[in-house]
Amino acid sequence: MNEQINTVRMLVAGEHGLVIEFGAVISPQINVQVQQLTRLLHLKNKNGILEVMPTYRSVTVYFDPLVITRQELSCFIQDILCELQQEDVEGLSPRVVHVPVCYGGVLGPDLEYVARFASLSPQEVIDFHTSKPYLIYMLGFIPGFPYLGGMPSQIAVPRQEKPRDRIPGGSVGIGGNQTGFYPIESSGEWWLIGRTPIKAFNFKRDDSFLFAAGDYLLFEEISIDVYFEIRRAVEAGTYIPHVTYLYER
Amino acid sequence: MITTLQSGSFTTIQDQGRWGYQAYGMPIAGAMDQYACQVANLLVGNQMNASVIEMTGMGAAFKFDEEQMVAVCGGDMQGLLNNIPIVNWSSFLIPRRGEIRFSAAVSGYRTYMAIRGGFDVPMVLESRSTCTPLKVGGYEGRMLRQGDVLHVGQDSDYKMQPGVLTAPYIPQYTGPIELRVILGPQDDMFSQGALDTFFGSLYKVTDQSDRTGYRLKGPKVKHIGKADIISEAVWLGAIQVPADGMPFIMTADHQTTRGFAKLGSVIRVDLAKMAQTGPGDSIRFICSTEEEAVQALRDEREMYSKIRNVCKKEG
């Protein structure tokens, strides 16, 4: 474990930023360190820290250098990293946010293409896609856009060469070995296999964002009737997202 | 009530920015030139988080149905109050049924108009700033258009009288501007020769520059190897260098994560200078230090408190 600490790099991100880099690859093992540091930084709520930004393999801390110096912040973070080594990580159970998806048809126009490419039936693609929860490595690109990991390789399809304009919000797609959904209308290169009626964010709610980095998403197949039922509930503000915990399952 | 008579080329409501939500992918937005924005607020006795109007390149025109105190700071858009020239970097009263009109910027590029009390638009995630790429915040998430009606908010702080700012507090927007840069975090992806090129050359602001980022054109900054990194956080002032070797500087509406090598960051106080450059203007980069950047911040904060004290005394 000590070796891991030694491989952590602290880098300068302007006078307001410090990058804590845990590794040079995308892996769940590295990302869990990112999420743990992020969690402890939130818990400790240190004066002078403005924002904490978890990404694939690093955490960027934005701070007010007139309140806390880089030196003080670095020491504070070193202490947390030591603390993390002693903590019982197994006790932590990430949230799993269930994402209902109506696959295929007009809501998922590329499902047939993906199935042909993967030499599977459309239903087999759906079964693979809904087979397990995916880790949210980070959010970025547009608000609430999850960078997910762990999609089965059987349904990986190279991205489209040219980005498509005006992809409807809620569209669920596959691009390379990545999957996810577009929270709002956007352009993008992914193949669209379905659509979810739920929203990744709603600024009218206190908890404006449905999920955060470190949570998991589990896609669930629904019929078109259920899709519209949930959509109406979402629009009326009465929809309650289904959330479980990873280790209950 | 304030009615928009002319929209200008790109006019939005901005404030200090929507901080605290980047981990969810939400851009900060906020005024591009925070110095001019804050000084305008100080001149009308506003709280620092009051919202202002940001005009870009070509100014807007407004009609006021009641007497209001406003301040105009930043680029000089040759403002006229009822056809009489106003003084830039000052606060003044706009009489009942008064009209203020701005034209093209003759110095600088962005002009800020603060009103005592701020503009009353809904708070979204603790900020009134507009992020037009996402249609979030400000006036219906978009730039102002002819006919849009604004109301005055309640974000005033202390009493004060109209006044003109003195010279030491007014930045000059002439000649090629110099931006101080702190290296990192991926400066090791560039050779010393590439860094010498970057710091030894003039770069031009392209017309691909807007509130999301400034794309520059000039001598190519070559990477040692590839240009891509695993996507990670980017921040205000971060200087990305994509594979084409042309510096691309992140500004207010930037996406929260990107995957290009970052040579360094423009220090925070100098972003105000950059915001006053438009397409065709020249930029030179100066290699700076963290000490210098922090001292510049300290100096800026001291300026704010001096301006505030002067305003209060006059008031």
For chain A, say whether B268 makes contact (Cβ under 8 Å).
Answer: yes
Instruction: Verify whether the Cβ–Cβ distance B232 to A57 is below 8 Å.
Output: yes
Q: Residues of A at the B interface (Cβ-Cβ below 8 Å)?
A: 11-17, 19, 21, 24-26, 38, 50-58, 60, 62, 65-66, 70, 138-145, 147, 184, 201, 203, 208-209, 212-213
Both structure tokens of A220? 């669930």
Interval B171-190: pLDDT, tens: 999 888 999 999 999 999 99
Spatial distance between the Cα atoms of B185 and B214, rounded to a whole number of angstroms: 19
Q: Determine the pLDDT at residue B305.
A: 93
The ipTM assigned to this model is 0.95
Q: Mutating which of B257, B287, B295, B305 best tests the A interface, going by the most A Cβ atoms within 10 A?
A: B257
The 10s digit of each residue's pLDDT in B238-285 is 999 999 999 999 999 999 999 999 999 999 999 999 999 999 999 999
What SS3 class is residue B14? strand
- The structure tokens listed for B220 are 């190519």
Give pLDDT, residue A66: 98
Q: Give me the phi and psi of A59, to 5 degrees please.
A: -115, 130
Distance CA A59, CA A79 (A): 15
pLDDT tens per residue across span A172-184: 999 998 899 999 9
d(CA A224, CA A195): 10
Query: What pLDDT is recorded for position A89?
Result: 59
Picking from A57, A66, A212, the nearest residue to B23 by CB comes out as A212
Cβ A12–B24 below 8 Å, yes or no?
A: no
Q: Which of A194-208, B116-130, B201-215 is predicted least confidently?
A: A194-208
Interface test with A, best of B22, B128, B294 (most A CBs within 10 A): B22
Q: How far is A123 from chain B (nearest CA, A)?
A: 32
Tokens of A173: 């797609």
What residues in B contact A26, CB-CB < 8 Å?
A: 230
In angstroms, rounded to a whole number, what is the distance separating the alpha carbons of residues A143 and B257?
11
pLDDT, tens only, A108-143:
999 999 999 999 999 999 999 999 999 999 999 899
| Partner residue opposite A12 with nearest CB, options B26, B124, B185 | B185
* CA-closest candidate to residue A58, choices A13, A24, A88, A96: A24
Q: Determine whether the interchain pair B184/A11 forms a contact, defined as Cβ–Cβ distance below 8 Å.
A: yes
**Which pLDDT score, from 0 to 100, does residue A1 have?**
41
pTM (two decimals): 0.94
Rounded-to-integer distance, Cα A102 and Cα A111, Å: 11
Which residues does residue A12 pair with via DSSP β-bridges, in sequence order?
Answer: A18
pLDDT at A90 over 70: no
Q: Which among B231, B236, B294 has CB closest to A140?
A: B231
**pLDDT over 70 at A169, yes or no:** yes
User: Which residue of B136, B232, B262 is in closest CB contact with A55?
Assistant: B232
Task: Map chain A to HEC letters.
Answer: CHHHHHCCEEEECCCCEEEEECCCCCCHHHHHHHHHHHHHHHHHCCCCEEEEEECCCEEEEEECCCCCCHHHHHHHHHHHHHHHHHCCHHHCCCEEEEEEEEECHHHCCCHHHHHHHCCCCHHHHHHHHCCCCEEEEEECCCCCCEEEECCCHHHCECCCCCCEEEECCCEEEEEECEEEECCCCEEECCEEEEECCCCCECCCCCCCECCCCCCEEEEEECCHHHHHHHHHHHHHCCCCCCEEEHHHC
Query: Are B138 and B14 spatial neighbours (Cβ–Cβ below 8 Å)?
Result: yes
Other residues' Cβ atoms within 10 Å of the Cβ of residue B123: 14
Q: In the block, which residue shows the tokens 């970052």?
A: B262
